[in-house]
Amino acid sequence: MYAIEITGLTKKYGSFTAVNNLSLSIPKGMFYGLLGPNGAGKSSTIHCITGLANITQGTIKVLGKDVVTDYQEARKLVGLSQQDIHIDPYFTMDQVLVYQAGYFGIPAGEAKKRAEKLLKQFGVWEKRNEIYRKLSGGMKRKVEIAKALIHKPKILILDEPTAGLDVQTRKDLWEFIREQNKQGLTVILTTHYLEEAEALCEKIGIITEGKLHIEANTQELKKQHKNKKLEEIFLSLTEKKQ
């Protein structure tokens, strides 16, 4: 069974096709990089997996659970840190996490414990009583990721999580995510920092114009391209297409 199994996914917005008959399988426990230029359809694919977008055609299974017919079970298995963060402006960071846990059926006592652990883990515990607006960009991102983890998902999807984060914050974040991955969490990452993808992802899939352009083991891909940097490989691959 795959962590994520996408079969023939098409996503249209009106008549515009953002994802075009995409099939993709991500094994359990993998650190997977979903790469591609802006507008390639990465976020659209992720939104189809997580229920933020309606699927036009095709099926998606999360650990065997269909995200449409068995959506409640599927949602429990996935945590998403969205590319654009949306947080209730009146809630304190503590409340954001406790409510989110509550929606997943986690009792308040347990939710508070988990929120405390995550906020401390991400170094934003002092900000627990602050509202969203009072947080720096990096802190907002940390809370967004904590929110994605509060219900202990088996799969974590990070949609451009490091855009705008400083070097130290990124380093801390990756250390933490890597540790979680070692403990069995499947991680799917989209990013524009290709060094990041190169360093972290076992396998990468490159999407262009809504199609899976290439999928390969990161190290093998590098070997095939004479150990060039992933960035160069990426550019040569995505250019060829155009």
Q: By the criterion CB under 8 A, which residues form the site for another protein?
A: 13, 47, 50-54, 72-73, 75-76, 80, 82, 84, 86-90, 99-100, 102-107, 147, 151
Q: Judge whether 41 and 18 are in contact, CB under 8 Å.
A: yes
43 contributes a contact to ligand ADP by CB under 6 A:
yes
Written as six digits, the tokens of 187 are 């991680």
Beta strands in 136-210, from DSSP E residues, in sequence order = 155-159, 186-190, 203-208
* Options 41, 43, 158, 210; binder of Mg ion; rule CB under 5 A: 43
79 contributes a contact to ligand ADP by CB under 6 A:
no
Q: Which is nearer to another protein, 127 or 151 (CB)?
A: 151
162 contributes a contact to ligand ADP by CB under 6 A:
no
Query: Which of the stretches 11-19, 73-81, 101-109, 148-156 binds ligand ADP when contact is defined by CB under 6 A?
Result: 11-19
Beta strands in the chain, from DSSP E residues, in sequence order = 2-13, 16-27, 31-35, 57-62, 65-66, 78-81, 155-159, 186-190, 203-208, 211-217
Exposed / middle / buried, residue 144 (Cβ in 10 Å: 0-12, 13-18, 19+): buried
- Residue 135 DSSP class: S
Site string for Mg ion, 71-100 (x = CB under 5 A): ------------x-----------------
Min dist CB 116 to Mg ion, Å, is 31
- Residue 86 DSSP class: -
| Footprint on this chain of Mg ion (rule: CB under 5 A) | 42-43, 83
| Footprint on this chain of ligand ADP (rule: CB under 6 A) | 13, 16, 18, 36, 38-44
